[in-house]
Structure 1
């Protein structure tokens, strides 16, 4: 009952305050991507406050984040990390599915933020467009973040990486940092959210230039390190 009460209060507080924040993003977008990054950071920090003080969820960081821009590949178990990593990684360009980018007003602002849009069909044209946008983000000095499994998965599930990861790994030529995340243990897709600790573990940097199979294997293993 306590978990349900916390969850209901969180949803009321977070979404009621998030609505005006999200609806005013297009105003910030008029001033360019940097203004949108600042705007979104305000939102993500509010999200962190709400999860900490309403849901009782704390964050633990393990490993070392390298200095400078990098290509990050993170495990995806909940909505939590999609917001938290925006602030934790200092506003990276995030690979975003087209369904989200097509939302009126918000989608336009997301593009102004520098989101890298990708189609689920993973056609050759879609992958080329994704790589072109990622290279443009790299040219501005930003990191790039992808959730290479393509969708949220439950704890213990280890699906293979989608083709987009290999394409970006090759095209960007950046040091790749895998991130393990266990958010699904306290933030299930269904049911109440539970108090606890969510760990982000920065894995060993995977250098550019490796063969696809080796790069994918190293990233896949590091992303799933918290599953035992």
Structure 2
């Protein structure tokens, strides 16, 4: 039964994800808030699909610790879920992601249209300066910035060295930096079959 539910979820998620990408692509010329709204509704839909098909309920704890207004969210990254979960938790999340992801046709364009900050991880000091400028710009507009300091998905309990961007952002900005722990990788890990 679990295998059937997993296959069904993955099939539905794929179709649902493709619909999102097509919808967001059509919204690229329009204000960014439209794309953000679509992703927020889509994320609520994914949460419902997880519950109905797989029986997996998503629970958020400690939401009272999230400040109102601009802040930096420093989160572990264990699952595909993490890349969109903050759309239901924050008013205006802007993810930091590696530049290579923005080169994926349609997906990359959509990420940028939602306000993502791309980082050239091979760019050294100039890339770090650009990251700081872009982050400060988003924060000045009242947005929240989400960063995965390990730069990639890691298995639950695994440790990976943090990229220097998170420390630089903490020293460069004057907003709250909020650490986030999660366990999404236990249920929907990298390369796993949900």
Asked if these proteins are the same fold (TM beyond 0.5), I'd say: yes
Q: Secondary structure at the match of 1:57?
A: coil
Assess if the C-alpha contact under 8 Å between 1:23 and 1:106 holds in 2: no
Q: Which residue of 2 aligns with 1:155?
A: 156
Instruction: Note the C-alpha offset of 1:105.
Output: 3.1
**Mean Cα deviation higher: 36-45 or 61-70:** 61-70
Superposition TM-score, scaled by structure 1 size: 0.79
Taking the TM superposition and a 5 Å limit, the aligned residue runs for 1:1-228 are 2-63=1-62, 64=64, 65-121=66-122, 123-193=124-194
- Judged with a 3 Å threshold, the aligned counterparts in structure 2 of structure 1 residues 94 and 10 are, in CA distance, closer, same or farther, namely same
Structure 1 Cα separation of the partners of residues 69 and 142 of structure 2: 8
CA RMSD of aligned residues (A): 1.6
Structure 1 Cα separation of the partners of residues 188 and 107 of structure 2: 25
Superposition TM-score, scaled by structure 2 size: 0.91
Assess if the C-alpha contact under 8 Å between 1:116 and 1:130 holds in 2: yes
Structure 1 Cα separation of the partners of residues 192 and 147 of structure 2: 26
Matched length: 192
Structure 2 Cα separation of the partners of residues 22 and 46 of structure 1: 14
Regions of 4+ moved over 4 Å: none
Structure 2 Cα separation of the partners of residues 169 and 116 of structure 1: 16
Q: Secondary structure at the match of 2:91?
A: coil
- Judged with a 3 Å threshold, the aligned counterparts in structure 2 of structure 1 residues 105 and 184 are, in CA distance, closer, same or farther, namely closer
